[in-house]
Amino acid sequence: MHGYIERSLTPAILNDMKLFPAVAILGPRQAGKSRLAAHIAERSPLSLRLDLENPRDRAKLTDPMLYFENKAGLMICIDEIQLMPELFPVLRSIIDDDRRPGRFLILGSASRELVNRSAESLAGRIAYRYLTPFLPTEYLSGTPPSILDTLSRGGFPESALAENDAASYRWREAFLKSYIERDLSMLGLGASSIATERMLTMCAHLQGQILNMASLGSSLGISGPTVRARLEFLQEALLLRLLPPWNGNLKKRLIKSPKLYIRDTGLCHTLLGIHSVDELMGHPVFGSSWEALCIETLCSSFPGAMASYYRTSNGAELDLILEKGARRFVFECKASSAPQLTRGFHTALQDLQPEQAFVLCPIEESYPLGPGITACGPVQCVETLRDLGEDF
């Protein structure tokens, strides 16, 4: 049994609960939503939890209006809300009778339909927060594994905290099977489980690459529009990240297609049959997987920043740009403790003129690589950016 590891999203959720009658925590199954909600509920003795996968709890909501009116003094956590989306209009009526903040904490799997239905019913009454699996920064409150173990296993708690690599891999196998066969179809992905598994496996092979929609569709035997629709669905389910190209106003020929990432590196490695750090370090995906971990850590740590990558037709490139207002930081990911910077990297710095550049490596101590360029691990990078100002 593992102790509770503090989630970095907690302060934002607690702040939202002081402002909004309802707060939704959305994310993939098994990312830790229920554990986080239980931790938050411990701060309030007047709370109760309804798990809509539990038939007994569902039966309590045969007359939801009567039930919620009877529990008006409590903070109510509703888990797996996607199983009863018809509750949203009821919640609207209940909230409009009493708009005290922090009345409802709603947990569910992220999907376009769920967000749309809740937004339609609860506009102005609900705030949304998206919970990812563990980020490397969150282990600071627990016992931190090595960054390469984190890379290999990914961030889903049962995988990340498993007793050994074999147990971690077996959990991820079972999770993927269940998620593909049950959850994604339930959330509305109109594809067979075989087709979905093929697509995710193909995405794993394309980890960190610029997406060619037509080529992917041809490989899968489906049309371009179908590929786009399914990729967008998987992105909304928080399984994929499609990182857009930077589109600033420079007189450069910029690459226009997004880069594709499976957000959790552990799931990517399971789809590729990679069982351990040793196997990963000998696999061609190693560099792309490190890039995926770094980008996920930075983008999830600073969700208010606009994220993109930079690549021109003449070879200038950067893996990640984060911008907010007038502030711009850039990042290059190198799966090496002794990174070598390319001519394309320096050209991109001249093009973009960032406030600071970071080269993200699997190292523990930061060191300078040149004026305004720092080599560091992703955890140290997040800490440095937070120290540079809360407005970022």
Task: Supply the pLDDT for residue 140.
Answer: 60
Q: Which residues contact 346 (CB under 8 A, 6 or more apart)?
A: none
Q: Which residues contact 86 (CB under 8 A, 6 or more apart)?
A: none
Select from 130, 146, 178 the last residue of a domain.
Answer: 130
Sign of CA dihedral 120, 104, 27, 293: positive
Task: Supply the pLDDT for residue 182.
Answer: 87
Give yes or no: residues 106 and 153 share one domain.
no
Give yes or no: residues 211 and 116 share one domain.
no
- Considering only CA atoms, which of 196, 187, 378, 357 is closest in space to residue 296? 378
Give yes or no: residues 26 and 51 share one domain.
yes
Instruction: Collect the ranges in the chain with pLDDT lower than 70.
Output: 1-3, 140-144, 250-251, 390-392
Give yes or no: residues 98 and 149 share one domain.
no
In a domain, 3, yes or no: no
Beta bridge partner(s), residue 126: 22
Show the tokens assigned to 104. Answer: 């409802």
The Cα–Cα gap between 226 and 218 comes to 11
Max Cα–Cα distance, the chain, nearest Å: 67
Give yes or no: residues 110 and 147 share one domain.
no
CB 118 within 8 A of CB 88: yes
In a domain, 53, yes or no: yes
Side-chain-facing half-sphere of 145: CA atoms under 13 Å: 22
Give yes or no: residues 83 and 220 share one domain.
no
Tally the domains of the chain. 2
In a domain, 1, yes or no: no
Pairing of strands 47-51, 75-79: parallel
End-to-end CA separation in angstroms for the chain:
36
Residue 326 is classified by DSSP as: T
Angstrom CA distances, 128 to 9, 27, 229, stand at 11, 10, 23
Select from 130, 145, 172 the last residue of a domain.
Answer: 130
Task: Supply the pLDDT for residue 314.
Answer: 83
Give yes or no: residues 50 and 146 share one domain.
no
Select from 83, 107, 130 the last residue of a domain.
Answer: 130
Task: Supply the pLDDT for residue 42.
Answer: 85
Task: Supply the pLDDT for residue 123.
Answer: 87
For 147-187, give the DSSP string: HHHHHHH-S-HHHHT-SSHHHHHHHHHHHHHHIIIIIHHHT
Give yes or no: residues 98 and 141 share one domain.
no
Give yes or no: residues 96 and 171 share one domain.
no
- Considering only CA atoms, which of 253, 286, 259 is closest in space to residue 272? 286
